[in-house]
Amino acid sequence: MFKYCLWYKLKPNHTINHIIRNYSRTLNTPTFSGHITIMKSLSLSKAEEMFETYKYHKKPTFVSYGRYTMDKMIIDNKYFFSVEQPFSIDGVRIPHIHASLAYRIDVPFLATEIKHTPIKDVIITPEDITLCIADCSSEDITEWTIYREHIQ
């Protein structure tokens, strides 16, 4: 599906992971590790190259803002739907920087299903994240795995 991705993976007890689990229960969607995607759809060699570059960068702080968005893209002739919460990076709002909260394939989310208020003031600190390469090649989101992590 997305080949290899470079992520800032969140610690298991982070608030975003609790929200993902709540959505999973209420929307009957798969659970997954909370993360901020840095790059997606990479070959393994490109993912390794970018991992080696990013592991020397200072990890940023992310702060939530605004309402969730719903996104749709076509991948491998399937519709991939997501519910996403926008985040700023070190105080700068950059388009498409977000934490995904729920995923579905070929079944869109309806606004009436997503009954949550904006996630205000959720902060993701450098201590909350680990740089990793995720293998997101499967269409089954529950089969996405962490290929490599940068433990400091």
Q: Are 97 and 88 contacting, i.e. CB atoms less than 8 angstroms apart?
A: yes
Q: What percent of the chain has pLDDT over 90?
A: 79
pLDDT confidence band for 113 (50 / 70 / 90)? confident
Query: What's the mean pLDDT in 28-55?
Result: 95
- Please name which of 128, 60, 69 lies closest in space to residue 96, comparing C-alpha atoms: 69
Query: How long a stretch of residues is the chain?
Result: 152
Tell me phi and psi for residue 27, to 5 degrees: -105, 0
Tell me phi and psi for residue 106, to 5 degrees: 65, 5
**Per-residue pLDDT reduced to its tens digit, 53-84:** 999 999 999 999 988 888 999 988 889 999 99
Would you state the structure tokens that stand for residue 134, as one six-digit string?
A: 């995720």
Would you state the structure tokens that stand for residue 86, as one six-digit string?
A: 């926008």
Q: What is the pTM of this model?
A: 0.90
Beta bridge partners of residue 63, listed in sequence order: 88, 123
- Please name which of 15, 8, 107 lies closest in space to residue 58, comparing C-alpha atoms: 8
Q: How far is CA 128 from CA 27, 44, 83, 104, 149, in A?
A: 26, 25, 21, 26, 14
**Per-residue pLDDT reduced to its tens digit, 76-112:** 888 999 999 999 999 999 988 999 999 999 999 988 8
Q: What percent of the chain has pLDDT over 70?
A: 97
